[in-house]
């Protein structure tokens, strides 16, 4: 005997109700201005431009290197 809670937990739609729409590989935004999606453009042939090194990024990289070296030394030396 099904209770009201059990009926509320049922799926409202089945997979057969959904469209089989496919997303094209050359997807563009709805405005058509070529800006791409929220995360940026889908264009893969853009030139890479080096940026300036921030002090914060350099500190985190150095800290990561020190942690990894410490873990490796700890594993090798048995600490």
Q: What is the mean pLDDT of residues 48-53?
A: 87
Confidence of residue 47 (pLDDT cuts 50, 70, 90): confident
Nearest to 10 by CA among 2, 21, 18: 2
Beta bridge pairs of residue 37: 40
Percent of the chain past pLDDT 90, that is, above it, reads 33
Q: What is the mean pLDDT of residues 14-27?
A: 61
Distance in angstroms (rounded) separating the CA atoms of residues 9 and 78: 53
Q: What is the mean pLDDT of residues 16-25?
A: 62
Q: Please give the model's pTM, rounded to 2 decimal places.
A: 0.40
The residue count of the chain comes to 79
Res. 41: pLDDT tops 90: no
Distance in angstroms (rounded) separating the CA atoms of residues 23 and 3: 40
- Residues in CB range of 28: below 8 A, 6 or more apart: 34, 36
């Amino acid at each position: 005997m099904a209770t009201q809670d059990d009926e509320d937990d049922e799926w409202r739609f089945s997979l057969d109700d959904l469209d089989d729409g496919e997303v094209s590989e050359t997807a563009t935004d709805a405005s058509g201005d070529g800006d791409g999606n929220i995360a940026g453009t889908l264009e893969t042939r853009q030139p890479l431009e080096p940026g300036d090194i921030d002090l914060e990024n350099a500190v985190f990289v150095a800290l990561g290197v020190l942690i990894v070296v410490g873990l490796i030394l700890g594993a090798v030396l048995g600490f």
